[in-house]
Chains A and B, each alone.
Chain A
Amino acid sequence: GAVVSQHPSWVICKSGTSVKIECRSLDFQATTMFWYRQFPKQSLMLMATSNEGSKATYEQGVEKDKFLINHASLTLSTLTVTSAHPEDSSFYICSASQGMGQPQHFGDGTRLSIL
Chain B
Amino acid sequence: GENVEQHPSTLSVQEGDSAVIKCTYSDSASNYFPWYKQELGKRPQLIIDIRSNVGEKKDQRIAVTLNKTAKHFSLHITETQPEDSAVYFCAALGGGTYKYIFGTGTRLKVLA
Residues of A within 8 A of B (CB): 32, 34, 41-44, 46, 49, 91, 93, 97, 100-101, 103-109, 111
User: Bound complex: CA of A93 vs CA of B104, how far in Å?
Assistant: 16
B45 within 8 A of A: yes
Are B46 and A107 in contact (CB-based, < 8 A)?
no
Q: Give the chain B neighbours of A109 by CB distance below 8 A.
A: 41-43
Are A44 and B44 in contact (CB-based, < 8 A)?
yes
User: Bound complex: CA of A43 vs CA of B100, how far in Å?
Assistant: 12
Q: How large is the interface on B (under 10, 10 to 19, 20 to 34, 35 or more residues)?
A: 20 to 34
**Between-chain CB contacts (< 8 Å), 30 pairs:** A32-B98, A34-B98, A34-B100, A41-B107, A42-B104, A43-B103, A43-B104, A44-B44, A46-B99, A46-B100, A49-B98, A49-B99, A93-B43, A93-B44, A97-B98, A100-B96, A100-B97, A101-B93, A103-B34, A103-B46, A104-B46, A104-B100, A106-B36, A106-B43, A106-B45, A107-B43, A108-B42, A109-B41, A109-B43, A111-B41
Q: How many A-B residue pairs have CB under 8 A?
A: 47
The distance from the CB of A70 to the nearest CB of chain B, in whole angstroms, is 18
User: Bound complex: CA of A34 vs CA of B100, how far in Å?
Assistant: 10
What 9 A-B pairs come out closest when comparing CB atoms? A106-B43, A43-B102, A108-B43, A106-B44, A32-B98, A43-B104, A43-B105, A44-B102, A103-B46
Q: Give the chain B neighbours of A108 by CB distance below 8 A.
A: 42-43
Residues of B within 8 A of A (CB): 31-32, 34, 36, 41-46, 49, 89, 93, 96-100, 102-105, 107
* Smallest CB gap from B43: residue in A: A106
Q: Give the chain A neighbours of B45 by CB distance below 8 A.
A: 106
